[in-house]
């Protein structure tokens, strides 16, 4: 019960924050909608946890909580892959930058 209450309070807080950021034009309408939806789903799930089981059974997983853990792992793996690719790209760009500066400095002399 306490966990549910905490979750709902947090979600409302986040929802308000998202709205405020949108109002101050810090995030686009698109992203404020995405985040807003996410927090609202969280509120629904916190109030009626059984809803996740329906979805879980629909995709062939027994419990909602399990579905959550499984999908989290998949998403995390993908996120790490993206980070590695990005990091590699930044490394190459850094090399290019260092190289160009070296040549530029030498030309000045």
Partner 1 sequence: MKIIAVIPAFNEENRIEAALLALAPHVTEMVVVDDGSNDRTVEMARKTPAHVLRHFVNRGQGAALQTGMDYAVHVLGADIVVHFDADGQMNPEEIQEMIAPILSGESDIVLGSRFLGSTVRMPFMRRVILKLGTWLTTVLSGIAVTDTHNGFRALSRKATEEIHISLDRMAHASEIIDLIMAKKLRYIEVPVTIRYTEESLRKGQGTLGAVTILKDFFKGRFFDGL
Residues near partner 1 (CB under 8 A): 85, 88-89, 91-92, 94-95, 98-99, 101-103, 105-107
DSSP readout, 16-42?
A: HHHHHHHHTTSS-HHHHHHHHHHHHHH
Closer residue to partner 1, CB minimum distance, 1 or 103: 103
Q: Whole-number minimum distance, CB 92 to partner 1, in Å?
A: 7
Q: Whole-number minimum distance, CB 74 to partner 1, in Å?
A: 21
Q: Whole-number minimum distance, CB 76 to partner 1, in Å?
A: 20
Q: What's the CA gap between 106 and 109, in Å, rounded?
A: 6
């Amino acid at each position: 019960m306490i966990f549910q209450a905490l979750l709902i309070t947090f979600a409302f807080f986040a929802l308000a924050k998202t709205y405020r950021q949108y109002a101050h034009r810090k995030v686009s309408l698109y992203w404020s909608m995405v985040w807003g939806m996410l927090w609202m789903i969280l509120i629904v799930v916190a109030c009626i946890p059984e809803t996740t089981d329906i979805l879980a059974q629909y995709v062939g997983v027994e419990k909602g909580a399990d579905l959550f853990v499984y999908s989290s792992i998949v998403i995390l793996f993908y996120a790490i892959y993206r980070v590695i690719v990005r990091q590699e790209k930044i490394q190459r760009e850094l090399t290019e930058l260092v190289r160009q500066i070296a040549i530029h400095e030498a030309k000045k002399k």
